[in-house]
Structure 1
């Protein structure tokens, strides 16, 4: 069965190194918290708020060891007034037997405000 694992983080300023570092940290924490094996990942979608334009966050994921064959796509979120700025979101589709209620979604930095009900 495929389950969605969500995560989000924020960066201080739009700089490539910060984007890559924050994205890699988020993805690694998502994988660790859910005991995900790379071979079980169907795809990853990474979105950013429209104020992030200096680098593709997917580059950070593609350079992780063993991730070169995982389908990864980047896009921008809707530009909604009052939205959390400088935010990177990840949706990872994973083959797993874990129940939906037991999936651990990861929210870091200012992104904890997006889903406080899911932050553990």
Structure 2
């Protein structure tokens, strides 16, 4: 087995706790489903959010909504770049896998779909 990283991003409609939790959970759940992951395959997750989202940490959704409580997670503020996408939640999930990198499915949802079209499968 080797360690691989899966990227993903989504957007929230507003800086609202319920909205951030909902969209974060959908993002992580979609990554798990599209990559046929078992929860034990996940090593860690790093989240970033743009500075306009500060109502709740996205990792809370993984613990409370998806009931994944034994994975280390960190939350950061995304560096602001003029003209960049607002209300954006990003994740990098590290996994153990026998798959080649070419089989990893990165997930971009909502307005984040335009961020990395080259990574979409």
Global fold match (TM > 0.5): yes
Alignment of 1:72-91 (within 5 A): 72-91=73-92
5+ long unaligned stretches in structure 2: none
1:67-99 C-alpha deviation (Å, 9 max, x unpaired):
111111111111111110000001000000111
Residue 29 of structure 1 aligns to a residue in which SS?
A: helix
C-alpha RMSD over aligned residues:
0.8
Residue 56 of structure 2 aligns to a residue in which SS?
A: coil
TM-score, reference length from structure 1: 0.96
Alignment of 1:25-104 (within 5 A): 25-63=26-64, 64-65=66-67, 67-104=68-105
Name the count of aligned residue pairs. Answer: 119
Residue 43 of structure 1 aligns to a residue in which SS?
A: strand
Counterpart position of 2:17: 16
TM-score, reference length from structure 2: 0.95
Counterpart position of 2:108: 107
